[in-house]
Amino acid sequence: MIIQALAFYMFALIAIASGVMVVSAKNPVHSVLFLILAFFNAAGLFVLLGAEFLAMILVVVYVGAVAVLFMFVVMMLDINFVELRQGFLKYLPLGSVIGLVLLVELVVVVGGWHMAPDVAEAIASPIPDTTSNTHALGAIIYTDYIFPFQAAGIVLLIAMIGAIVLTHRKRPGVKKQRIADQLARKPEDTLEIRKIESGRGI
C-alpha cells in the first residue's frame, strides 16, 4: 500500500509539473516534450487505477501519434513566436474570460460528483471478473457516453483539418504542386516538335 501511494504521488507531481512547463516553456518544442512526459505519467496513474487499456491507449495514441504530430506541426509552421508574444496583452481579456468559463465548468463537474447520490456507489461497485477492462470500457463508451465520444472525435477531426490548412498555407518562395494547372495543361503549351536534319544534333 505504501509503494502504491509513493508511486501515485510521484506520477501525480511529475504530471502536474510537466503540465505547468507545457504552458510556461518559451520554446514550443520543449512544450511538446513536456507534454509527452505528462502523458507518460498520466499513463502511470491509469495503471495504478487498474485501467491498463487506457494507459496503453494514452502511450500508443497520444505519445506515439498526437504528440509527434504536434512536434511536426510546430516545426513545419515556422511561426514567429516573438511576434505572437508582442500581442499577448491584446488577447488577455478574452483569455481571462475563457479561463473563467473553464473554471466554472470544473467547479460544476466537481460539485456534481458530490451532489449525485449514485456516483459513490458506481465508483465502489467492483468490475466483474468475467469482464475484461477493454470490454467494460467499450460497453460504457458506446452505450452511456456515445454522444460525448462522437463529439470528441469531431473535435479531433477539426483540429487535424486545421493543422493541415495551416501547413498548406501560401508562403512566398515556396513552390507547390497544383493539380488543376497540370490537368488543364495542353500538349502544345509544353511540347515543341523540331525537324532535325540528318547528321546534325539538336
Domain-embedded: residue 191: no
Number of other residues whose CB lies within 10 A of the CB of residue 24 = 10
Q: In which residue are the cell numbers 491509469 written?
A: 46
50 and 102 both lie in a single domain: no
Provide the percentage of residues in the chain whose pLDDT is more than 90. 5
Range of the domain at 102: 87-125
Average pLDDT over residues 1-7: 80
Q: 137 near 53, Cβ under 8 Å?
A: yes
Domain-embedded: residue 192: no
Q: What is the pLDDT of residue 33?
A: 83
Please list the alpha-helical segments (H only) found in the chain. 2-24, 28-48, 52-57, 67-77, 81-86, 92-115, 119-124, 133-141, 146-167, 179-184, 187-190
Q: What is the pLDDT of residue 155?
A: 92
- Domain boundary (68, 96, 125) is at 125
Domain-embedded: residue 202: no
Q: What is the pLDDT of residue 104?
A: 86
pLDDT digits (tens, 9 = 90+) for 94-133: 878 888 988 887 787 677 666 666 655 655 555 666 777 7
* Higher-confidence position of 194 and 158: 158
Task: Count how many Cα atoms sit within 13 Å of the Cα of residue 57 in the half-sphere of its side chain.
Answer: 9
- On the question of pLDDT at 148 being above 60, the answer is yes
CATH code for the domain of 60:
1.20.120.1200
Q: How many domains does the chain have?
A: 3
Q: What is the pLDDT of residue 66?
A: 73
- On the question of pLDDT at 11 being above 70, the answer is yes
DSSP state, 126?
P
Nearest CA to 53 out of 139, 152, 151 is that of 139
Q: What is the pLDDT of residue 8?
A: 87
Q: In which residue are the cell numbers 523540331 written?
A: 194
- The pairs formed by 72-79 with CB atoms below 8 angstroms and a separation of 24 or more are 73/163, 73/166, 73/167, 74/28, 74/29, 74/32, 75/29, 76/167, 77/166, 77/167, 79/28
Domain-embedded: residue 179: no
Q: What is the pLDDT of residue 86?
A: 64
pTM beyond 0.75, yes or no: no
Cα angle 102, 157, 153; round to 5: 65
Number of other residues whose CB lies within 10 A of the CB of residue 44 = 20
Provide the percentage of residues in the chain whose pLDDT is more than 70. 79
What is the residue-averaged pLDDT of the chain? 78
